[in-house]
Amino acid sequence: MSFCIAVDGPAGAGKSTIAKKVAGKMNLVYVDTGAMYRAMAYYLITQHTDLDNPEAISANCRKAQIRIAYENGEQIVLLNGENVNPYLRIEEVGKAASVTSANGSVRVRLVELQQQMAEHTDLIMDGRDIGTCVLPKAQLKIYLTASSRVRALRRYNELTAKGEACDLDVIEADIIDRDYRDMNREISPLKQAEDAVLIDTSDMTIEEVVEYIISLAEARK
């Protein structure tokens, strides 16, 4: 049986940065499921799908073939054969993903793919429903969080480092909005699994969190 670590938590808690580092140190494959939802949202945008119409989303998502590949350890999302990684971090795609990921048909398709990946591969997978729905038998479940202000500040620093003008309060409002949608949707809302370890990263360094998760994982191997 494969060894799996499930990492869930709200946007900006540091899931992908931390999961990637744990993967590197423990020789696990890192699976970013948010990127799969983003790729699906990107597809729906390119098809001019009405995102207010759940039936249109359900119908169009069936035409999207999403696959994951790895290049130099980096996850590549293939959408109908095309590498769509360059489009996934666009703000519009992230916002659309938060809406379209609430759709049942979208989730069924992507959860199936995620479960198949975990069948024979030792991995660390991050998302919103990994511990509660995708990998309920994961050997270790982590719920990673941080205050909305800290998460907004991290995003603000990222954007200003890239030279992009932004407003901290607007970013925080957007984060609170996204949390609300992710936590209150009908299907697989974001919530801490009963057997997950809660880690609040507000006052921790990345290295501290990584070392803590590795110590928990080693104890369960």
Asked if 174 touches ligand DC (CB under 6 A), the answer is: no
Judged by beta carbon, residue 11 or residue 84, the one nearer ligand DC is: 11
Judged by beta carbon, residue 189 or residue 214, the one nearer ligand DC is: 189
Query: Chain centroid to CA 155: how far?
Result: 16
- Pair 153, 14: CB distance under 8 Å: no
**Rounded Cα distance, 51 and 99, in Å:** 7
Which one among 98, 132, 145, 148 touches ligand DC, defined by CB under 6 A? 98
**Rounded Cα distance, 127 and 74, in Å:** 17
Asked if 175 touches ligand DC (CB under 6 A), the answer is: no
Asked if 10 touches ligand DC (CB under 6 A), the answer is: no
Count of Cβ atoms closer than 10 Å to residue 35 Cβ: 22
Asked if 37 touches ligand DC (CB under 6 A), the answer is: yes
Total residues binding ligand DC (CB under 6 A): 14
* Shortest distance in whole angstroms from residue 111 CB to ligand DC: 8
Asked if 128 touches ligand DC (CB under 6 A), the answer is: yes
* Shortest distance in whole angstroms from residue 155 CB to ligand DC: 11
Contact stretch for ligand DC (CB under 6 A) within 79-87, 122-130, 167-175, 209-217: 122-130
Asked if 33 touches ligand DC (CB under 6 A), the answer is: yes
Asked if 131 touches ligand DC (CB under 6 A), the answer is: no
Judged by beta carbon, residue 26 or residue 97, the one nearer ligand DC is: 97
**Rounded Cα distance, 136 and 38, in Å:** 23
Contact stretch for ligand DC (CB under 6 A) within 49-57, 71-79, 94-102, 201-209: 94-102
**Rounded Cα distance, 65 and 216, in Å:** 36
Asked if 34 touches ligand DC (CB under 6 A), the answer is: yes
- What would the DSSP string read from start to end of 25-91? HHT-EEEEHHHHHHHHHHHHHHTT--TT-HHHHHHHHTT--EEEEEETTEEEEEETTEE-GGGTT-H
- The token pair at 20 is 């990637």
For residue 4, give the 3-state DSSP assignment.
strand
Residues that bind ligand DC (CB under 6 A): 11, 33-34, 37-38, 94, 97-98, 101, 127-129, 178, 182
